[in-house]
Amino acid sequence: MLLENKQVAIIGGGPGGLTLARLLQLQNVNVKVYERDLNKDARVQGSPLDLHDGSGLAAIHKADLFEEFKSNFLPGADKTLILNEKAEVFYSDHETNVHEDFGNEYFRPEIDRGALRKILLESLQPETVIWNSHFVSMEAQNEGWLLHFKDGNSVYADIVIASDGANSKIRPYITDIKVFYTGILMLEGNIYESKKNAPNIASLIDGGKIMAFGDTQNILLGQKGGGDLGFYVSFKANENWTKTNGLDYANKTQMLEWFKTEYPEWSNIWYELFENVSAPFIPRPIYCMPLDQTWEALPNLTMIGDAAHVMPPFAGEGANMAMLDALELSECLASDKYKTVQEAISDYENIMRKRASEAAQESIENGEKMHSKEALKTMLEFFSH
């Protein structure tokens, strides 16, 4: 086996990194995950993920964690409403989407990010994750890398795998290709105990998700575990918008006034989101990697997930692609058909880039459709089919 007697370091403990660690440990590989969070409870996890049959769920199956997943997913969270800016319902599958259809390629079960992280963490061997490890730099040493962390610690690894997200500190060691801005920006908000704090919206969403479309603007909402609600106010904006808008994202009154000004045609039912948000809002400019990126494979370094192919969120592929990366990379590294680790990495990267490019293209196209003047009509046609 290529990784026999090798020490593997995964930088980043998101879904992709933890899935990869689990899959490698099932192959008896020595692996450590270096995560900058102080501990497993240090950060509130974002909106739920919908896992897809051929990617995220395929990785869950290979990791032998499907039963744990079924015990923790959010039944009904994939139910969808499509509204206009007046909060009028144009599409609902709440009456037809009444059972969980595992095995159906179109069924995309949702799970809280926190719940998924817990499942993956508990599947790993003790002390696999080294918390409070903020990667700073690394340098070539022998046949591998000497990694340096913010706390002053340094460790050696024969093989390093970047799973440290869109702002990866390791990606520049592989390629200098940069992301480009898509022209779309999202303001993320969260409401705790939504039935109590946003009863009108909570009643409307009814445990599922909402997509509301206006004139080039939209609001996307999703029910989270524990009764919490996550939402995104999404619109087209200049890349410098976050630096020039003069908004205090923690000031709910100011943010509501901004919404009333910028979304003037939208119903006052949406005001409930701004009045009860757990401030501050988080601005998220949406970036994407070039669709034709390429680089020469290295013998001891590669990347997965957003570090390799950050893409817009408008096809629900981000976490799914990261988990599929983990699955395919683990299979390449465990395969007997490659003579060297570099050959295995090269094969994985070629497959990954092509697959990620196709997903990114779909995400870009969906983002344009969702922020067009015909967004409501377009999305209704899509869901009707």
Query: Between the CA of residue 75 and those of 89, 105, 224, what are the distances in Å?
Result: 22, 17, 11
Q: Nearest CA to 286 among 208, 229, 215, 218?
A: 218
66: tokens are 């499907």
- Options 3.30.9.30, 3.30.499.10, 3.90.1170.40, 3.40.50.720; CATH of 180-288: 3.30.9.30
Q: Nearest CA to 274 among 289, 285, 262, 291?
A: 262
Q: Nearest CA to 269 among 198, 163, 206?
A: 198
Detail the residues annotated as belonging to a binding site for NADPH.
Answer: 43
Residue 107 has pLDDT above 90, yes or no: no
Detail the residues annotated as belonging to a binding site.
Answer: 43, 50, 113, 306
Cα–Cα distance between 245 and 250 in angstroms, integer? 14
Query: Which is the CATH superfamily of the domain at 7-49+123-178+290-366?
Result: FAD/NAD(P)-binding domain (3.50.50.60)
Mean pLDDT along residues 193-212: 94
Cα–Cα distance between 16 and 328 in angstroms, integer? 11
pTM: 0.92
Q: Do β-strands 282-288 and 159-162 pair in parallel, antiparallel, or remain unpaired?
A: unpaired
Cα–Cα distance between 342 and 332 in angstroms, integer? 10
Over residues 41-57, the pLDDT tens digits come to 876 556 688 898 899 99
Q: Are 114 and 45 in contact (CB under 8 A)?
A: yes
Q: How much of the chain, in percent, has pLDDT values that exceed 90?
A: 83
- Give Cβ neighbours of residue 3 (< 8 Å, ≥ 6 apart): 24, 27, 29, 30, 159, 333, 334, 341
Over residues 48-101, the pLDDT tens digits come to 888 988 999 999 999 999 999 999 998 888 889 999 999 999 999 887 765 666
- Tell me, what's the pLDDT at 43? 65
Cα–Cα distance between 356 and 325 in angstroms, integer? 9
Cα–Cα distance between 383 and 160 in angstroms, integer? 42
- Tell me, what's the pLDDT at 224? 84
Over residues 283-333, the pLDDT tens digits come to 999 999 999 999 999 999 999 999 999 999 998 888 999 999 999 999 999
Detail the residues annotated as belonging to a binding site for FAD.
Answer: 50, 113, 306
Residue 110 has pLDDT above 90, yes or no: no
What is the residue extent of each domain of the chain? 7-49+123-178+290-366, 180-288
